[in-house]
Chains A and B, each alone.
Chain A
Amino acid sequence: MSGRWTSFNIASVVFGFAFLYLPIVLLIIYSFNESRLVTVWGGFSTKWYGELFRNQGLIDAAWVTIRVALLSATVATLLGTLAAVSLVRHSRFFGRTLFTGMVFAPLVMPEVITGLSLLLLFVAVDFARGFWTVTLAHITFSMCFVAVVVQSRLISFDRSLEEAAMDLGCPPFQTFMRITLPIIFPAVISGWMLAFTLSLDDLVIASFTSGPGATTLPMKIYSQVRLGVTPEINAVCTILIGLVTTGVIIAALVNKRRVVRESASRT
């Protein structure tokens, strides 16, 4: 689509982005507020950040969250990539409709249902709740997001490359490792990052499936948020936003450089 970029178009884009970004910007600004009263500006200060590092409960929760996110994102990426390959490369197998349904349904399934159902599964098989149950739950819902991301890349790439390799006698596994995987790799990486942040952010599913000693950061933040807005929580949130934003921007830049290099080598 093209045509003239009218002032109405510009206004709706500006309004839309202001709406999306203003709350986050305000939250970041107020994390540097000297005053304990979160809505009254009392001067610039970084004291709430210092306070965070003395809060052992918060640090423990952050550590649990990072371990869960690293492990679940990695397993989810493996499973999700396999699921994507099954969906795109194998047009017929037994129960394909059910499989497709199970890959897409978790994307929209309300979290309370996913959380409750997984918890009841763990209780039914008498599996001790804690770090591992949260990790298993996160793998399950984030692998579907990975599958969708990888799938779209698999659909768009030129299959004749794979066919050429196979025609020249390359076995299927080697073809996958040397041709397919390098091509879909950016999607696999963004799938991993998506799974990582989904796990990092999740409150509802973790609350259902977690047990003693496995309180995650969102659970900790939630229990404090219920008591009201505090500058410490603003500071935690700012750190999280900063980390995730930096990660996403670095990934985008790396990807861009790769694309530029590829197109340069082609000419």
Chain B
Amino acid sequence: MKAVARRLVILIPYLWLLVFFLLPFLIVFRISLSEPAIAMPPYLPVFDLEEGWRAIFDKLSQLTWGNFEFLLEDSLYINAYLSSLRIALLATFLTLLVGFPLAYGMARAPQGLRPVLLMLVILPFWTSFLIRVYAWIGILKPEGLLNQFLLALGLIDRPLAILNTETAIFIGIVYSYLPFMVLPIYANLEKLDYSLIEAALDLGCTAFGAFWKVTAQLALPGVLAGCLLVFIPAMGEFVIPDLLGGTRTLMIGKTLWTEFFNNRDWPVAAAVATLLLLVLVVPIVLFQNAQARAQRAAQ
């Protein structure tokens, strides 16, 4: 009885994730090897177990790498992957640039103030992602609030074009993912024993030296976790490039969406997803390892 209950506790979520998380990836991979067709579902071939094994082998021989060849030949897709990679990397760096001083400032804040500051960082995370991205459209538009403000100050004499450029995507990613960067860094900095820094300063380290050799080193696991939490989803981001980036900016999440919803080419969309997953395997494994390490450290 005890053993059965114990197994069920593990088995129920395990089976759920196998069916709804792992199995779908296998199907994506399978369909990425199919030919598109004008039908519902719009791809060939479909397995039909009733036709027996012979039919399945026939169908297997119809699978093709054609979609992947198509992706690698067409510079549109390669450029979309490369431009996503570049945008995600740069955006992660910018998020770190804004997030680290914020987390550092929070960790040095008076003890009583810290829970309030922590709450203030978490709160935007609860409000809708879509709404937060949408809020920037009104600000960045040519006749938007930022341009009105800068014109009124006399800093510029004609509106800046920010919306529908890569700059807008960077602003959107930094803004939306900032809490993901701040929280893990703050968690590491908060634990940091300030007497270590005092010791470094007493022993003749400069303020910058103490920061670099003590604070930055000890915050490193948090920085790594934060960067991965920003980089991986940013790589496949759809909403931000779609709403803020306009038609000219290329990102792979948007390409996948267009293939699926506008071109209705499911096999190519599946191939795009497979390649994106392949690119992300290394950072995802890094993230898993970091999580497992943090868990062991806590236990």
Contacts and interface: CB of A to CB of B under 8 A. Distances in A.
A26 B135 contact: yes
A121 B20 contact: yes
A183 interface: no
B44 interface: no
B138 A27 contact: yes
A12 B104 contact: yes
B124 interface: yes
Given A20-B175, A200-B128, A218-B128, A82 B110 contact: no
A3 B108 contact: yes
B128 A86 contact: no
A38 B18 contact: no
A266 interface: no
Nearest to B288: A104
Given A110-B232, A193-B126, A218-B130, 7 more contacts: A23-B135, A26-B139, A39-B138, A86-B10, A108-B284, A113-B276, A225-B134
Interface of A: 1-6, 8-13, 15-17, 19-21, 23-24, 26-27, 30, 38-39, 79-80, 82-83, 85-88, 90, 93, 95, 98-113, 116-118, 120-121, 123-124, 136-137, 139-140, 143, 147, 151-152, 155-156, 172-173, 193-194, 197, 200-201, 203-204, 207-208, 218, 221-222, 225-226, 229, 233-234, 237, 240-241, 244-245, 248, 252
B282 interface: no
Contacts of A4: 108
Interface in B138-152: 138-139, 141, 143-145, 148
B130 A203 contact: yes
B144 A237 contact: no
A24 to B, nearest CB: 6
B107 interface: yes
A93 B7 CA distance: 9
A112 B238 contact: yes
A3 B12 contact: no
A9 B103 CA distance: 9
B162 interface: no
A137 B143 CA distance: 39
Contacts of B10: 82, 86, 90, 93, 99
Given A1-B107, A39-B143, A110-B236, A105 B21 contact: yes
A86 B12 CA distance: 10
Interface residues of B, number: 101
A116 B258 CA distance: 12
A201 B135 contact: no
Contacts of A248: 122-123, 126
Interface in B91-126: 98-99, 101-102, 104-111, 117, 119-124, 126
B121 A80 contact: no
A145 B110 CA distance: 30
Interface of chain A: mostly helix, strand, loop or mixed: helix
Interface string B180-193: 00100000011111
Contacts of A124: 27, 41
A57 B289 CA distance: 45
B166 to A, nearest CB: 19
B117 A20 contact: no
Interface string B1-34: 0100110011011101110111111011001000
Given A23-B175, A26-B139, A204-B238, A102 B145 contact: no
A108 B233 contact: yes
Nearest to B269: A116
A110 B237 contact: yes
A229 B138 contact: yes
Given A79-B16, A108-B232, A221 B237 contact: no
B5 A172 contact: yes
B195 to A, nearest CB: 9
Contacts of B237: 110
